[in-house]
Structure 1
Amino acid sequence: MTVPYKRLNKDDAVVLLIDHQSGLISLVQDFTPSDFKNNVLALGAVAKFFNLPTILTTSFEQGPNGPLVPELKELFPGAPYIARPGQINAWDNEDFVAAIKSTGRKQLILAGVVTDVCVAFPALSAIAEGFDVFVVTDASGTFDKTVQQAAWSRMSAAGVQLMNWFSVACELHRDWRNDIEGLGNLLSNHIPNYRNLMTSYFTLIGK
């Protein structure tokens, strides 16, 4: 079955950061700790660059899952923050779903820990309610590559679009002429080799 191309739209998208908690993050083995942290913060930077509504949620903070990582608290000090008392699937929490629906937006850009549970369950639930769901694969982590691939396959079969943070940024931006230096600098901050492209560009324009 051919699925029509649905582009991300900065005026219809909301970012959901689910369970990036100090305890759960220690379970992530499909990315190195430094790469994973970079990817999560890069997605956060993309959300801020495009002024996307962003919602943070955690699961059972008082238990072994731990608190939200401090970098996300600092990045989004005013964002809705839903500390779920126990629901494993964030979509089972009424406050979380209400925060999403209050934005009036239908495109959900979603990332979290772990991919096969904290990401897959709400992604599938949102699809079932008619939302367009875009899971950011490199800002979501789990136990190993086998679990990762199974989770991706399950979500993809249900209609979830799988993207990485770089492609999210580019699809939202649409056209380099919208802000060459702004997006270029964001990419350079999280992709070291991208700095070479920006250096070349600045040399070209004599800056």
Structure 2
Amino acid sequence: MNKFTETLTTDNAILAMIDHQTGLLVSCRDQDPHLMTENIKGLCSMAKTVGMPTITTASMPDGPNGPIMPEITDILGDEVIERAGEINAWKSPEFKKAVEATGRKKIIMAGIVTDVCLMFPAISAVAEGYDVYAVVDASGTWNKAVAEASIHRMTQAGVKVATWASVLAEVMDDWRSEKGMELGGVLGQHTSYRWVYDSFLQANQAHK
């Protein structure tokens, strides 16, 4: 099967959260910061719900970039690969080794900022045969023009540009799947889909 048509599953993908650090978040102006935070939390919750392997990394967290945002560590845990200087996470031996240790070739990536922390490792991983999904609404950068330029460059390099809710739906695949309703709850918790989800739950309750 062509890698561009093969879909994400709980068994073939990992999640990499790259440099969502408090000092860098201040500069993100391409989308509403509260919405971006909900997108990030939703993406992390999706991975945790289905038991997907996750990797979190930070660039010089003791410096001005700051620590990983607590919303991520609260969901995925405190294990963070702290890079001493590599701007491109893919050039960090520890990060790359963690990816390779999963044995999986599909990487769902998000990063702050989009045009550096996400774009550089996404392109580098594709160059080495990985199938990368860049989740742009769980990433952020300086302004919309920068975000659009990053999307164009990643697309040119063969990175799949995605959104977190689309990734969740692709992984879920079927509402009747083992984690279907639980994933629906994640979607409802972090998007306006909550009204649909709540209505469904109430209708089900009424028929019992």
SS at the partner of 1:99? helix
Given the alignment of the two structures, is residue 183 of structure 1 paired with residue 186 of structure 2, yes or no?
no
Q: CA deviation at 1:153?
A: 0.4
Distance 1:143 1:175, change over 3 A: same
* Whole-Å separation in 2 of the counterparts to 1:102 and 1:180: 28
Distance 1:75 1:199, change over 3 A: closer
> Which stretch shifts more, 50-59 or 176-185?
176-185
Residue ranges of structure 1 left out of the alignment (5+ in a row) = none
Match of 1:47 in 2: 47
* Whole-Å separation in 2 of the counterparts to 1:199 and 1:68: 32
CA deviation string 1:2-27 (max 9, x = no partner): 98413112101010000000100111
**Superposition pairs for residues 105-124 of structure 1, below 5 Å?**
105-124=104-123
Match of 2:203 in 1: 204
Contact 2:134 2:162 in 1 (8 A): yes
SS at the partner of 1:177? coil
Match of 2:143 in 1: 144
Match of 1:91 in 2: 90
Identity of paired residues, percent?
43
Residue ranges of structure 2 left out of the alignment (5+ in a row) = none
* Whole-Å separation in 1 of the counterparts to 2:159 and 2:146: 17
Q: CA deviation at 1:204?
A: 3.0
Q: CA deviation at 1:180?
A: 4.3
Match of 1:62 in 2: 62
* Whole-Å separation in 1 of the counterparts to 2:21 and 2:162: 22
Contact 2:3 2:131 in 1 (8 A): no
Q: CA deviation at 1:50?
A: 1.4
Q: CA deviation at 1:203?
A: 3.5
CA deviation string 1:10-63 (max 9, x = no partner): 101010000000100111101111111111111111111111100000001122
CA root-mean-square deviation: 1.5
Match of 1:156 in 2: 155
Match of 1:7 in 2: 7
TM-score, normalised by the number of residues in structure 1: 0.94
**Runs ≥4 residues deviating over 3 A:** none
Q: CA deviation at 1:199?
A: 2.7
TM-score, normalised by the number of residues in structure 2: 0.93
SS at the partner of 2:176? helix
> Which stretch shifts more, 173-182 or 97-106?
173-182
Contact 2:172 2:180 in 1 (8 A): no
* Whole-Å separation in 2 of the counterparts to 1:201 and 1:33: 29
Match of 2:32 in 1: 32
2:31 maps to amino acid: F
**Matched length:** 204
